[in-house]
Structure 1
Amino acid sequence: MRSFLLLRHVVAVVVAFSVCLSRAENYRLQPEIEVEAKHVTTLLVQVLQPNVPLLSPRHEIELSRLRVQLKHGAIKGESKSIRHRVLEALYGFETYKHGKVARYQKLYQNVSQRQRKILDRAVGYSDTLLGLEKLKAVNEDVCHEIVRVALAYYSINRQELDEFIQQEQAANRQPDHESVSQALKLFVRDWAIEGHNERHATFPCIESYLKDNFESVGVNGGSSVEILVPGAGLGRLAHEIAGLNANEWSSFVNAAYHFLEANTIPDTVSMYPFLDIWSHLKSRDEMLRRISLPDVTVNTSQVLLVEGDFTRVFKKSPAKFDAIVTLFFIDTARNLMNYLETIKQLLKPGGLWINSGPLLYGTSAWVQLSLEEIIQVVEEMGFKFLNTDSDCGDITLEGYPIRGKEALYNFNSSSLSKYAYVAQHWVARKHPK
């Protein structure tokens, strides 16, 4: 397998060199060639450093932008700099072994010796806890690899991370292991066979509408259509629709995505993402089961991840996108109006906004609109809601072409508890003028 990857990298280098040499005459007159030359250098480095994701020229440009921001302080309106948020995320991944599973193991020490003997005779509880150490070590290795790939990607040296961790621990600031746990479970939802049912509840309706309106959209198409998926998580929807552009704010999720970019071959990564789920189990095996990923080959050049706040990072790209697809996203807004205004600004005249998801606002949301109010506000802003197919669900409100369909958001298909929303699906077209 390693030989195959090496060959793939070498071929890419040869092709890139051919492009540069063929344009050598005009090198000084065409600044874009500099990007290609830089890409060749990156490819050569990656041949010598396996498991570092290949970067296309447009990925290189985005990475350069990101690294510039990593050198600056906090952006106006944000309490922490991008660099600080990345280091916080890596602090969480690096200390995985001290996280939620370790806490549950420690809590067992409160059980009396007499009660432990009963538990051991009946179900071998102590042996189960000991067995967790081996499985936890597998997850820890994955987390350490996420850190390694992220340090290289963001060009942050190991010493800086170690010093950051020491400072945080000295100040008694605990790592965010909950976000680490959620990132591992996102792998299941987006890139494992076990997540198929959850993806299938929402993806087909979105995909079919895009294909009906844009002929070149599709996984195998070299699409010239500009589609943005904000709040993309680990990016499966963006990859499925060849969305070209994905956006995510969480540094935990972004670090995990870069790890995915470095591990593109199916079933090459194994983990135990449910070790910290101790409730609602049919049997102990449910939390101990292994998940393999990705379930399909990941095309790293297909989607460009733009990191940062959706309402800020695209300010220099007005009227850029033919379609914006929001999946389980709009209710994450602190200020929903900022999201709506940004969607309008980024769409081309006549562009489509496709949405699917709940309206589960956070406790600190400034604006919390009902579905009916969202429709009225969006129409006031110059959008027209279009008819949608009955496959997308049942009409939610009489007189409006908005459809609701139950969608799981559970990550764990074997759990005795299920979390589901009646996801609201709509398609709205921005006024063509």
Structure 2
Amino acid sequence: MNGDPNFRDQVTESAEVLERNALTSTLNSFLVYGKAAHANLTRPRFKAFYSLSPAHQGLLQPSYTEHLDQIDKAIDSNASFLRLVAQYGANEFEAPQDMREWEGATAFQVDQTRSTIKQIYRDWSSEAASERDICYGRVIRALNNIYDPGNRASTKVLIPGAGLGRLAYDVACEGYVSQGNEFSYHMLIVSNFILNLTTKVDEFAIYPFIHTFSHTSTASNQVRQVTIPDRCPSTSGSETGGNFSFTAGSFTDIYGRPDAGPEDKWDAILTVFFLDTAHNVLDYIDVIRRTLKDVSSSDEDVYWINFGPLLYHFEDEQNLSDIGGAANQDKLSIELPLDILVSMVERCGFSVEVLETGITSTYAADEKAMGKWVFESVFWVARKLPAVA
């Protein structure tokens, strides 16, 4: 280990630069959304339209070009909303005031911005309430079956991978001490805006379905607006009793410290569409067990409740080019079939007391579309067992 204090200062400064670049490039991805969307969505289609024969142009006029005009207007509306989010995000997260110091956005980050608009729809619109009920509702009902209302004010519940914060907020509204954790700057910036800066229900309109032209049943469905939020957290503090918080950073880094004291332990952990985001799901299981309160008897109520599919996020990035060399942790991906995953949960100190499989679920799906991704998700309630002496 290098003991040179100058070296340590350089490492710290380098980490701060990387963090600042990650923040500002995300903010920039909000700002360039409109320009990129016009360039990628409507401009090529107008160009394709005008390359058609006069006869085909005549057939499509005016319905097709008017539809593209409506999408252009929807893009502009989304862009205005995202500029507002970026403005508040820059202040809240203390980005450099001089935007010339901001890192440019990558194509991947702009794509994440488009996905974030769908995520806003999923978490904070009334239209997506039925989708949320399948996952968030199921998890909250299981939690409420364990803890009586009179005990919830002292029951600490952690939600890693909290995204835009809806599940963590709803858990707090049930009377628990709730904390969400999130790593993505896209999620952190937007969740901060919705949770702290919106002032009324249905304050903003977004257009979440304009980014794809496939499986579209009607033109009006593709350009329909969705209003958010369907509940306004910043004006309903009494619902949460002030027992709601959010942390930024890696779940394993923040909660995986082996020296964590009793005050850092939790009564329950809820994971929804989260486990398959791990490079190595065993790391998540280890941290979840370590972060839950220690138990000394089999009747203590300390639980891990999970819902989601197994769409392992890093499967396509698995690095097989240097099998004999050291593992590349950024590319590593351990993908466990469900039966092996459940057995690992049990071998790592849990009793799986409820296990349901094949639960049909979607993620930010357009219910009016002609096609959508459908998952068969797994749901479990696992009780932490006392450590074996």
Confirm or deny a common fold (TM above 0.5).
yes
- C-alpha contact (below 8 Å) 1:318/1:346 kept by paired residues: no
| 2:291 partner amino acid | L
In structure 1, what is the equivalent of residue 323 of structure 2?
Answer: none
1:357 aligns with 2:290: no
Which of 167, 188, 199 is the matching residue for 1:254? 188
Does 2:370 correspond to 1:370?
no
Aligned 1:172-187 pairs, distance under 5 A: 173-174=106-107, 176-187=109-120
Q: Secondary structure of the equivalent of 1:234?
A: coil
* Structure 2 residue corresponding to 1:156, chosen from 79, 95, 102: 95
Cα pair 2:50 2:57 within 8 Å, conserved:
no
Change (3 A) 1:203 1:94: same
**3-state DSSP class of the match of 1:241?**
helix
Q: Does structure 2 conserve the Cα–Cα contact (< 8 Å) formed by 1:227 and 1:321?
A: yes
Q: Which one of 38, 53, 73 corresponds to residue 115 of structure 1?
A: 53
Q: Could you say which residue in structure 1 is the equivalent of 2:252?
A: 311
- CA change 1:384–1:116 in 2 (3 A) is farther
**Inter-CA distance 315–228: structure 2 relative to 1 (3 Å threshold):** same
Whether the 8 Å contact between 1:273 and 1:291 is mirrored in structure 2 is: yes
Q: How many angstroms does 1:373 deviate by?
A: 0.7
Matched, 1:228 2:158: yes
Distance (whole Å) between structure 1 residues aligned to residue 54 and residue 27 of structure 2: 36
TM-superposed CA distance for 1:72, in Å, is: 5.0
Deviates most, 247-256 or 111-120: 111-120
Q: How far 1:120 moved relative to its partner? A: 5.3
**CA–CA distance in structure 1, aligned partners of residues 160 and 143 of structure 2:** 16
Contact persistence 1:281–1:415 (CA under 8 A):
yes
Q: CA contact under 8 A between 1:410 and 1:420: conserved in structure 2?
A: no
Cα distance in 1 between the residues matched to 2:61 and 2:216:
14
1:105-162 superposed Cα distances (whole Å, 9 cap, x missing partner) = 2222144444376345435222332333322221111110111111111122331x33
Please say if 1:277 is aligned against 2:238. no
Q: For 1:189 and 1:116, how far apart are their aligned partners in 2?
A: 42
Number of residue pairs aligned between Structure 1 and Structure 2: 337
Shift of 1:414: 1.0
Instruction: Work out the CA distance in 2 between the residues paired with 1:305 and 1:207.
Output: 18
* Higher RCO (CA < 8 A, seq sep 6+): 2
Q: Take 2:378 and 2:352, find their aligned partners in 1: how far apart are those partners?
A: 13
Distance 1:107 1:343, change over 3 A: same
Structure 2 residue aligned with 1:11: none
Q: Pairwise mapping of residues 375-414 of structure 1 onto structure 2 (< 5 A)?
A: 375-386=342-353, 388=354, 401-414=355-368
Query: Structure 1: how far apart are the matches of 2:79 and 2:52?
Result: 33
Indicate the SS of the match to 1:223: helix
Give the partner amino acid of 1:210: L
Equivalent residue of 1:81, what SS?
A: helix
Contact 1:145 1:259 in 2 (8 A): no
**Equivalent residue runs for 1:135-174 within 5 Å:** 135-159=74-98, 161-165=99-103, 168=104, 173-174=106-107
Residue 36 of structure 2: aligned partner: 99
Q: Identity of counterpart residues, as a percentage?
A: 26
Quick check: 1:191–1:236 contact (8 Å CA) kept in 2? yes
Amino acid at match of 2:206: M
The answer as to whether partners of 1:100 and 1:177 remain within 8 angstroms in 2 is: no
Distance 1:122 1:181, change over 3 A: same
Displacement, 1:430? Answer: 1.3
**Counterpart secondary structure, 2:209:** coil
User: Match of 1:191?
Assistant: 124
**Structure-2 change in CA distance of 1:177 and 1:432 (3 Å):** same
Q: Is the 8 A contact 2:89 2:189 kept in 1?
A: yes
Return the letter of the residue paired with 2:343: Q
Residue in structure 2 matched with residue 129 of structure 1 by the alignment: 68
Q: Distance in 2 between matches of 1:277 and 1:233?
A: 23
Residues 87/175 of structure 1: CA separation in 2 closer, same or farther (3 Å cut): farther
What TM-score do the two structures reach when normalised by structure 1? 0.72
Question: Could you tell me which residue of structure 1 aligns to residue 26 of structure 2?
Answer: 89
Distance in 2 between residues matched to 1:344 and 1:303, nearest whole Å: 22
Give the letter aligned to residue 204 of structure 1.
Answer: G
Cα contact 1:333–1:339 (8 A) shared by 2? yes
TM-superposition CA deviations, 1:212-268 (whole Å, max 9, x none): 222248xxx972211111111111111112161001111111111111021142111
* Matched residue SS, 2:21: helix
Q: Which residues of structure 1 form unaligned runs of 5+?
A: 1-70, 389-400
User: In 2, distance between residues paired with 1:342 and 1:428?
Assistant: 15
Q: SS where residue 324 of structure 1 aligns?
A: strand
Q: Secondary structure of the residue that 1:267 maps to in structure 2?
A: coil
Aligned to 1:49: none
User: Which of structure 1's runs of 4+ aligned residues deviate more than 6 A?
Assistant: none
CA RMSD of aligned residues (A): 2.4
